[in-house]
Amino acid sequence: MKLVFVMLGKRDFRSGGYDFNFRMMRYLESRGHEVEAVHFSTVPAGLPERSLRACRYVAAAVRRARPDLVIVSKSYQYAPMLRIMNLFWGYPVLYLMHHLEWNDRRPGIRRRMYRSWVRWLLGMAGGIWANSENTAKGIEELGFSRNSITVIPPGFDKTPEPPPDRSGRKPPLRLLCAGSLSPRKDQLTLVRAMEGWEGNDVTLQLAGSTESDPEYAREVKTEISEKGMEKMVTVSGNLKREEMDRAFRRADILVHPARWEAYGMAVAEGMWQGLPVVACRTAAIPELVREGENGLLVPVGDQLAMRKAVELLVDNGEMRLQMGRKSRMFARDLFDWHDTEEAFLELVTKISGV
């Protein structure tokens, strides 16, 4: 099977979506399929900054390849010519929806226009992949049939070793927040919730890229500095896989303040490492975190509620440990990467018709 995988964004930075895309691409190649990627690393330098030229490039790459299937991930500003071309040549298209970006915008005409634009682009797809039931519901609300949407959750590496024994740990307890520093992940709310914490019984690590939104990352660092929280809060930046695994195992509580989350891979990974979770009650998070069982859910942006939830777990060791055990138990039923790869290959084969 010959495939073209279009995953071109305005900026080139590591994200969970790109990691997923490249993992699926490598798996398809390992199964003997020919895959051409249209991505920052394969297009001429500076091309993504020139939208019209990039549109023509994407359409030309697909027409030249004559693929059995075109897989498109986001690429909203570069796919319109592909959408028009598809009316005439009709290449099968699988559209990947990692995130419903219009949820990042304030309600109003721009948000409605964005939704309409995405709806038009998705209209060329023979099938749509979604990473959670919540994402699938958002696509349905655009007017697409549930039969056209396939939910395949991202996997994660289920390391064979059991979670560490956290029962005998002494203060300070380690809070971990994993995710790129960005307004959607809302680390500022978490930092402000921790302001004025009495004593030295907790530390907070913000582990995630500071490159995706440098201005927001500077705002977070400034907040930490101005509030004199440098000894409590560390910003460790993007961590390598083995470093991230160590951070999960050192942590005692995972705190995930994201305002909106299409899936929550960091939450799934933390659950596998036996961590209780404090997170916002939003989007797909309740598909992973069951209130009162393996974590506590709070309203989006509510600093006081987040502070109280963290305090409750810090002060109640047995609750913390029980929720951590439940997290590990629930995580056993989540997809690992092998599950995801096999299901994705099945979907690709179905949509291509090959």
Within this chain, do residues 188 and 136 fall inside the same structural domain, yes or no?
Answer: no
Tell me whether residue 33 is in a domain: yes
Average per-residue pLDDT for the chain: 94
Beta partners for residue 297, in sequence order = 279
Within this chain, do residues 71 and 212 fall inside the same structural domain, yes or no?
Answer: no
By C-alpha distance, which of 247, 256, 286, 268 is closest to 337?
268
Tell me whether residue 213 is in a domain: yes
Tell me whether residue 160 is in a domain: no
Single-letter code of the amino acid located at 50:
R
pTM over 0.85: yes
Tell me whether residue 116 is in a domain: yes
Within this chain, do residues 265 and 151 fall inside the same structural domain, yes or no?
Answer: no
Q: What is the dihedral of CA 139, 143, 148, 151, to 10 degrees?
A: 20
For 227, the domain range is 173-331
Tokens of 274: 């036996």
Within this chain, do residues 311 and 340 fall inside the same structural domain, yes or no?
Answer: no
- Find the range with the poorest average confidence among 9-23, 212-226, 300-314: 9-23
Q: What is the mean pLDDT of residues 188-194?
A: 98
Within this chain, do residues 34 and 136 fall inside the same structural domain, yes or no?
Answer: yes
Q: Residue 347 pLDDT > 90, yes or no?
A: yes
Q: Which residue has the tokens 């799934």?
A: 268
Within this chain, do residues 234 and 250 fall inside the same structural domain, yes or no?
Answer: yes
More confident residue, 88 or 111: 111
What band does 131 get if pLDDT is binned at 50, 70 and 90?
A: very high
Within this chain, do residues 122 and 244 fall inside the same structural domain, yes or no?
Answer: no
pLDDT, residue 35, reads 97
Tell me whether residue 165 is in a domain: no
Q: Residue 315 pLDDT > 90, yes or no?
A: yes
What band does 277 get if pLDDT is binned at 50, 70 and 90?
A: very high
Tell me whether residue 71 is in a domain: yes
Within this chain, do residues 300 and 347 fall inside the same structural domain, yes or no?
Answer: no
Tokens of 278: 């404090």
CATH of the domain at 234: 3.40.50.2000
- Would you call 198 helix, strand, or coil by DSSP? coil
pLDDT, residue 86, reads 83
Q: Which residue has the tokens 């330098």?
A: 45
What band does 182 get if pLDDT is binned at 50, 70 and 90?
A: very high
Tell me whether residue 282 is in a domain: yes
What's the rounded Cα separation, in Å, for the pair 128 and 177?
31
Within this chain, do residues 310 and 344 fall inside the same structural domain, yes or no?
Answer: no
List b or e across 257-292, with b for residues whose CB sees 16 or more CB atoms inside 10 angstroms. Answer: bbbbbbbbbbbbbbbbbbbbbbbbebbbbbbbbeee
Beta partners for residue 206, in sequence order = 177, 235
- Find the range with the poorest average confidence among 65-79, 96-110, 145-159: 96-110
Q: How many domains does the chain have?
A: 2
pLDDT, residue 334, reads 97
What's the rounded Cα separation, in Å, for the pair 50 and 42?
15
Tell me whether residue 256 is in a domain: yes
Within this chain, do residues 99 and 115 fall inside the same structural domain, yes or no?
Answer: yes
Write out pLDDT tens, residues 286-297.
Answer: 999 999 999 999
Within this chain, do residues 138 and 191 fall inside the same structural domain, yes or no?
Answer: no
Contact 81, 59 (CB under 8 A): yes
More confident residue, 163 or 14: 163
Within this chain, do residues 320 and 242 fall inside the same structural domain, yes or no?
Answer: yes
Q: What is the mean pLDDT of residues 5-24?
A: 83
